[in-house]
Amino acid sequence: MTQVCIIGAGPAGLLLGHLLRAEGVDCLVLERQSPDYVLGRIRAGVLERVTVDLMERLGLDARLKAEGLVHDGFNLADGERLIRIDIAALTGGHVVVYGQTELTKDLMDACGPRGLEVVYEAANVALHDVESDAPHVTYEKDGRLHRVDARIIVGCDGFHGPSRKAIPASVGKNYEREYPFGWLGILADVPPCNHELIYANHERGFALASMRSHTRSRYYVDVPLTEKIEDWPDERIWDELSIRLGPDAAAHITRGPALEKSIAPLRSFVFAPMRHGSLLLCGDAAHIVPPTGAKGLNLAASDVLYAAQALTAFFKRNDADAISGYSDKALARVWKSERFSWSLTRLMHRFPEDGPFERAMQVAELDYIASSVAAQTSIAENYVGLPV
């Protein structure tokens, strides 16, 4: 028996587990995969203030402070033009580049010393009686069926996990937009071509220059969903990046062998409500954003903050209203982040159905952004992270 059973030991589940343990709330984390598999997932790494603050609050930010790259701005490129969004000057804030893998490792390493119990390789996880005040979770491990009784279950198990599926279709509603392209990413141990991120809109398609450190770079180009990774040898990717990012960035690109290559489809997705009975959803279990704008991990972190506040109030002060208000509070921020990610994706990508009018609108919008402090401020406020 535990007070909270958390499904999923990615950054959202581990972050929530540590926050609850720090408040004296009993919890157990179940994870379908092995620790090595979890750490092997390559994800984004641009952290908003909310994510950094939570790591600081837990005292788990030593490596983040030592190795994270503070960014005061980022760039939008359109052909020959580079539009810098000075988020520090416009908002007084900044973002920190620190790989999601590294943040997950920091959270994992602290589990033992801080008494956060995580069961890895928990197969066939199933949620039961979530409408009641006495839900439970079953899973299989080492050939045996296990049962966990809890007062609250929190699903942090991603888009394909069992948690969201435990909510009846009559209760929940899906809002979804699938995009007609994916991001082909390459990770390489080479210095980045710019000290800040570059989002590029080119006639051949979108490109992104980003980094994980001063010596490790992450680049993307958008490709049709019909493309196969084996058709993209390293040199073809580097050639395409050099064209799409523009001549200045191309002059500073250092080529190197890929440590990892993958094609990730893009989707905007929201499931509402994010709470049903004794079940709460956090992160990708409830919503997906396209990676344009780097909102995924940070949106999960704000969910976790709201969930931790609600659960702490519930267990320490018997405040049931905190639980019932979680979904509305979380969704208010989710929809704002979805809007920003969708609008930036729409601005920086060429859609197959677009014609001369749509392209002219992109040019007009970029012209407006380049010349308007108000437009740049709006983008900066969203990029650095809206208030929680």
Catalytic choice (179, 199, 219, 306): 199
- Residue 71 annotated in active site: yes
Given the residues 18, 71, 276, 329, select the one marked as catalytic. Answer: 71
Q: Hey, what long-range contacts does 108-113 have (CB within 8 A, 24 or more apart)?
A: 108/9, 108/14, 108/35, 108/38, 108/39, 110/18, 110/58, 110/60, 111/14, 111/17, 111/18
Residue 95: CA count within 13 A, CB half-sphere: 28
Alpha helices in the chain (DSSP H): 11-22, 35-40, 49-58, 62-67, 87-91, 100-109, 111-114, 234-244, 247-251, 296-317, 320-324, 326-348, 356-371, 373-384
DSSP 8-class letter at 196: S
| Catalytic annotation, pick one of 287, 291, 326, 329 | 291
The reply to whether 290 belongs to the active site is: no
Catalytic status, residue 199: yes
334 neighbors 287 (Cβ within 8 angstroms): yes
195 contacts: CB under 8 Å, gap ≥ 6: none
Our CA angle for 320, 321, 325, nearest 5°, is 125
Task: Provide the sign of the torsion angle of the four alpha carbons 219, 225, 228, 232, taken in this order.
Answer: negative
User: Which member of 295, 326, 329, 349 is catalytic?
Assistant: 295
- Within 10 angstroms of residue 180's Cβ, the number of other Cβ atoms is 14
d(CA 202, CA 348): 8
Residue pair 74/197 in contact (Cβ under 8 Å)? The answer is yes
Could you list the active site residues? 71, 199, 291, 295, 383
